């Protein structure tokens, strides 16, 4: 004898639930999506821009709870949505705290932060003009973040160009002269230098303005980091 559509022997799908009266309700899609994103939320501990992952998880979880509340005859998944919400919220808070502590600790005592925006000429100035914001940092101990420009040497590097972004360093670009900083390492803990990396690199050293040529790139460099160490 053929069994009915809702025969008890028929296996239930993972995304449905029996409400006890023979009606089947689907797990809200936003709750499922929230759980998936929540599983990725620990990425927030690795970089500032990745905090968007748990934020998305929180939004999806709230939407899932709202859909279940507004249409209880169609959707289930409240525990799943709440779990995703709690995990995403915990990762968001923990990630922000962790990144803030790292940000505070990465600056050596007596150093100030330098960014490439401070090295750019004012609108209308020549492309190699040195702005006052850069001149004000001349001779100071600074921390600068950038990307190593690839050269022939891949290991035991003591001198290299630190450039503004990965488009310049990794895809054959020729970075603007104000996006280049020539780094000279002098790190007692790494006397042989460092290895090439495509990841964001933090360099602490004495900032100097000294226009000079370089064999690595046409156009030379304006800015230097001397007696530098990799953080």
- Please write the tens of the pLDDT for every residue from 104-115: 888 999 999 999
pTM of the complete model: 0.68
- Are residues 87 and 176 located together in one domain of the fold? no
Last residue of one domain, picked from the residues 63, 81, 105: 105
Establish if 3 belongs to a structural domain.
no
Residue 34's pLDDT is 96
Residue 152's pLDDT is 84
Domain of 166, CATH number, reads 2.40.50.870
Whether residue 17 contacts residue 25, with contact meaning beta carbons closer than 8 Å, is answered with yes
Establish if 64 belongs to a structural domain.
yes
Last residue of one domain, picked from the residues 105, 129, 145: 105
Residue 146's pLDDT is 94
- Are residues 125 and 168 located together in one domain of the fold? yes
- Are residues 127 and 206 located together in one domain of the fold? yes
Handedness of CA 218, 224, 229, 231 (dihedral sign): negative
- Are residues 68 and 87 located together in one domain of the fold? yes
Establish if 196 belongs to a structural domain.
yes
- Torsions phi, psi of 175, nearest 5? -60, 150
The three-point CA angle 78-82-88 to 5° equals 145
How many structural domains compose the chain?
Answer: 2
The three-point CA angle 185-190-196 to 5° equals 70
Establish if 11 belongs to a structural domain.
no
- Are residues 92 and 145 located together in one domain of the fold? no
- Are residues 175 and 73 located together in one domain of the fold? no
Establish if 9 belongs to a structural domain.
no
Neighbour tally for 137: CB within 10 Å: 20
Determine if residue 13 is left, alpha or beta; phi over 0 gives left, psi from -120 to 50 gives alpha, anything else beta.
Answer: beta
**Which segments in the chain show pLDDT lower than 70?**
1-23, 168-173, 214-219
Last residue of one domain, picked from the residues 78, 105, 132: 105
- Are residues 83 and 54 located together in one domain of the fold? yes
Full residue range of the structural domain in which residue 81 is found: 16-105
- Are residues 126 and 180 located together in one domain of the fold? yes
Residue 3's pLDDT is 44
Residue 36's pLDDT is 97
């Amino acid at each position: 004898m053929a069994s009915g559509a809702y025969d008890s022997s028929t296996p239930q799908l993972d995304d449905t639930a029996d409400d006890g009266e023979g009606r089947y309700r689907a797990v809200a899609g936003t709750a499922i999506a929230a759980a998936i994103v929540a599983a990725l939320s620990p990425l927030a501990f690795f970089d500032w821009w990745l905090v968007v992952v748990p934020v998305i998880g929180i939004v999806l979880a709230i939407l899932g709870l709202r859909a279940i509340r507004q249409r209880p005859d169609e959707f289930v998944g409240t525990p799943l949505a709440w779990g995703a919400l709690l995990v995403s919220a915990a990762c968001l808070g923990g990630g922000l705290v962790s990144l803030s502590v790292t940000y505070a600790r990465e600056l050596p005592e007596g150093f100030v932060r330098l960014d490439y925006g401070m090295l750019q000429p004012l609108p209308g100035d020549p492309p190699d003009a040195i702005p006052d914001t850069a001149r004000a940092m001349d001779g100071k101990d600074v921390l600068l973040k950038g990307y190593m420009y690839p050269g022939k040497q891949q290991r035991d590097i003591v001198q290299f160009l630190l450039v503004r972004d990965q488009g310049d360093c990794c895809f054959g670009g020729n970075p603007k002269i104000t996006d280049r900083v020539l780094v000279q390492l002098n790190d007692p803990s790494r006397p042989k230098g460092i290895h090439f990396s495509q990841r964001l690199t933090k360099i602490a050293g004495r900032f100097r303005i000294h226009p000079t040529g370089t064999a690595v790139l046409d156009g030379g460099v304006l800015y230097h980091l001397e007696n530098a160490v990799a953080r």
